[in-house]
Structure 1
């Protein structure tokens, strides 16, 4: 079979996406490969297809059991023999897979790096005919990346033990420094390097200063994503549970996911999410790396991620099927202080300064008023045009600013006159003339700044405090006590003008957004019927619905409405194998319409 025939029959595509064929050809030519391509760009196909044209088995190193399981399930649904060896299997099951490998009946074997470095397993691999190794999530190799894993560093021994076997390394994100580190550590020999554009044209990217805990902003955002799958990222385990509970009280089906839950509970939530039985997962970053669910329509961050690499990978989990999806980042200056405190706790090494630099880049991105997509691309040494309509900065009308110098001086003066020993909420109580018992006990109702800030609401003063923290006019001490910095003293003395975006201070409700929709060009009612049928078939087969057919395939079916096998095979994502397994049921439904 030719590579195009395999592409059509097994994967249901009539042509390659950009850069895929280049990598497939390099692997077929026995070259080492290093591919950097955004999530949703089609990296997996680049190594899954060529192995079908080669003798031997492909060994895929992957960091997460859930990801390996999803990939193996999807490959089997496409009629490709695949297996994983992990702690999830019994000894009997492992022996059975080893026997099938020796007999040459498996084309793709997925393993974790820990297993690959096991002396017994390395010895076992030497008995097999391996056509090439795949290192997935290859950024984990680099100490300069954002998810360094010690066992990945050990993969350098592959070239020692298997010097003639090519290696293909794949990742969604890598700066030039990380790219060089991956190539050097894996000892790649003159690798074919392929770097795709960072621009995800189907993703709308937004960032907003968080108002209080951000929950009102979150609810406003979710209004345009009813019945859609999404992930909400928080900074702590406790916050995942409280946000999930909050959403449940609003009638929104949401489950918490974090490392502190039992394995059984985590697996149950993960399974319910990929099977479309739970719409929203509220999670720490422990959830989602490599998640293979294609129809995630939105990703929300309720606090600032520590790096742009983390952020880009996490938002990349939305819209893997190519359909319009939306992302929202809510952040405050307190997030920055918290992230800096995490870094301060690290040992003094060159990595520590590197972590501060990465955080600074994340802060610049969040506060930026230029194209979001362009900013992300520039960080990864990619140059693109401004997106025009796929980020909040490009679609914003002219930004109006207001002078808050006088208000800033009032706030700074209140911090100073209360002895720089209190948190922001207390300072605001003093400013607004509160009769709180603590204020009266401290006799702060007698000082000159008491009650001089009644022109602003509590939320507006919190925003002004946040702005001063961003500018470095104040700093947070122990127990979140606010103190003046030398720059803050200069502001207090009238040496600087302070401005803020008008919309940020006005605390208006977010303007109603145009709902992200992809029902413009096909029959939405038919799409829902097809989706119900997909859920039934998935239930019977014990697999996630998106493995039967993706949302993109259902969209294409409800637009083209094929009435024969030949017409079905023209639909995106339906090849011979998928048609034989699931096509008849869908064809029957379509013929009845």
Structure 2
């Protein structure tokens, strides 16, 4: 078979996606390759397909066992001989895989980077016909990346030990500096560099200033995603448990996931999420790389991530199947303070300033009124047009702004007159003329600023305080005490005008609207029956439902209702192998049972 026939037969696609063929051809020509392509762009196919057209074995280095396991299961379902060697196997299983490798019965072998420092394993590789190495999640190689791993740094040994064997490195996120670091550390020789556009057209991005704990905003958002899979990211282990419990009390099937849970519990939660038995996982960043579930419809951040790399990779877990998906970022100035405190605890190295710079980029993105997609692309040295309607800033009309200079001067003056010794809530109590005992005991009811702030509600004053924190007019010291900066003093003196988006002073319901695409115009009743059949088959085979058929495939089936094998092979994602395994059952349902 040629490459297009192979694409159709094993993967069920009639054509390549952008840039895929270019990388496949480079690998077939035995070139080193460095590909940067967003999550969901189809990186895996770029190395899974060419090995089927080549002699020998492809060794894939991947950082997480769960990711390797899911990819191996998916490849086997497509009729491709793949295995993984890891701590999950006992000695007997490992020996059986080794025997099959020597017999040429395996095309793709997945391993963790640690295994490549094992002398016995390296010796085994030298005895095998390796056609090329794959480094997945290659940004882990770079200490300037956001997920640097020491074991990845040691992968430079591949070029030292296998000088003539090509390497193909893949990542979803890398600035040009990180890209150069990857190429240098892996010792890539004149690599074919392919960088895809970072624009995820099926992903709608929203960012909102968090109101109180953000739970009311979260529930408004979730109304648009009933019975859909999603991930909610929070900053701490405690908050994952709290938000998961809150959702459970609302009748939503949610589960917490964080590093403090037992391995057994984490594995069970992951398996239930992948199998659609759990709708939502509320997680820390511990629920990170390795999520290969294609039908995640939304990702919510309840707090601000520390870098744009983290944020982009995390929202990239939504919509891997190409269908319309939503993301929501809820943040406040308190998040910025907390992240800065984490960085302050780092040792004094160049990396510390690097971390501050990355946080500043994240803060600018969250507060930006420009196209969200364009801002992300610019950070990664990519240029794209404004998205049009797939982010809140582009979809909404130009925001009306209000002048809050007078209010800002009031707030800053009150901080100053209470001797910069209290938190924001107390300062606002003074402004609003509170009769709280502590205010009276401190004699602050006698200050000239006492009671001058009744024009705004407490939540509005908190928003104004957030804006001043964003502008660095105030800073937070120990015990959450607010202090003025030099810029804050200038504001009090009338040297600056302060403006705020009008909607930030108004408590609003979420304006997130679900986008409709071709694949959303489907027969819901037929789709639900197809999904039930998929669930039954997946349960019987002990595999995730999306590996049987993706949501996109089921929706296409519900629209086209194929009558025979020929018309079924025209459906998205169904090739010869998938048809032989599942085609007849789905055809029977479509033609006899509906």
TM-score normalised to the size of structure 1?
A: 0.98
Question: Given the alignment of the two structures, is residue 85 of structure 1 paired with residue 96 of structure 2, yes or no?
Answer: no
- The separation in 1 between residues aligned to 2:68 and 2:520, in whole angstroms, is 35
Q: Partner residue of 2:330?
A: 330
Deviation readout 1:90-139 (Å, 9 max, x if unpaired): 12111111111111111111111011112221112111111110000000
Q: Partner residue of 1:68?
A: 68
Q: Partner residue of 2:146?
A: 146
CA displacement at 1:412 relative to structure 2? 1.0
Q: Runs of 5+ in structure 1 lacking a partner?
A: none
Q: Partner residue of 2:23?
A: 23
Paired positions, count: 593
> Does structure 1 conserve the Cα–Cα contact (< 8 Å) formed by 2:519 and 2:556?
no
| Alpha-carbon distance change, 31 to 512 in structure 1, aligned in 2, over 3 angstroms | closer
Q: Partner residue of 1:245?
A: 245
CA displacement at 1:279 relative to structure 2? 0.7
- The separation in 2 between residues aligned to 1:66 and 1:148, in whole angstroms, is 19
- The separation in 1 between residues aligned to 2:118 and 2:21, in whole angstroms, is 34
Deviation readout 1:132-166 (Å, 9 max, x if unpaired): 10000000000111110000000001001111111
Q: Which moved more, 1:512-521 or 1:381-390?
A: 512-521
Q: Partner residue of 1:352?
A: 352
> Does structure 2 conserve the Cα–Cα contact (< 8 Å) formed by 1:229 and 1:298?
yes
- The separation in 1 between residues aligned to 2:523 and 2:500, in whole angstroms, is 46
> Does structure 2 conserve the Cα–Cα contact (< 8 Å) formed by 1:26 and 1:33?
yes
What is the Cα-based RMSD across aligned positions, in Å? 1.2
TM-score normalised to the size of structure 2?
A: 0.98
CA displacement at 1:519 relative to structure 2? 5.9
Q: Partner residue of 1:316?
A: 316
Q: Runs of 5+ in structure 2 lacking a partner?
A: none
Moved over 6 A (4+): none
Q: Partner residue of 1:390?
A: 390
Q: Partner residue of 1:207?
A: 207
Q: Partner residue of 2:179?
A: 179
Q: Partner residue of 2:402?
A: 402
Q: Partner residue of 1:113?
A: 113
Q: Partner residue of 2:10?
A: 10
Secondary structure of 2:99's counterpart equals: helix
Deviation readout 1:298-338 (Å, 9 max, x if unpaired): 01111111111111111110000000001111111111111
Deviation readout 1:433-489 (Å, 9 max, x if unpaired): 222222223222232222221221111111010001011110000111100111111
> Does structure 1 conserve the Cα–Cα contact (< 8 Å) formed by 2:274 and 2:293?
yes
Deviation readout 1:502-543 (Å, 9 max, x if unpaired): 100122333463466766532111111101110000000000
Q: Partner residue of 2:526?
A: 526
Q: Which moved more, 1:61-70 or 1:94-103?
A: 94-103
Q: Partner residue of 1:588?
A: 588
> Does structure 2 conserve the Cα–Cα contact (< 8 Å) formed by 1:324 and 1:518?
no
Q: Which moved more, 1:510-519 or 1:321-330?
A: 510-519
Q: Which moved more, 1:201-210 or 1:114-123?
A: 114-123
Q: Partner residue of 1:101?
A: 101
Q: Partner residue of 2:445?
A: 445
> Does structure 2 conserve the Cα–Cα contact (< 8 Å) formed by 1:326 and 1:516?
no
| Alpha-carbon distance change, 79 to 111 in structure 1, aligned in 2, over 3 angstroms | same
| Alpha-carbon distance change, 520 to 67 in structure 1, aligned in 2, over 3 angstroms | closer
How do residues 39-78 of structure 1 correspond to structure 2 at under 5 angstroms?
A: 39-78=39-78
> Does structure 1 conserve the Cα–Cα contact (< 8 Å) formed by 2:519 and 2:552?
no
Question: Given the alignment of the two structures, is residue 436 of structure 1 paired with residue 436 of structure 2, yes or no?
Answer: yes
CA displacement at 1:359 relative to structure 2? 1.2
- The separation in 2 between residues aligned to 1:223 and 1:516, in whole angstroms, is 16
Question: Given the alignment of the two structures, is residue 571 of structure 1 paired with residue 579 of structure 2, yes or no?
Answer: no
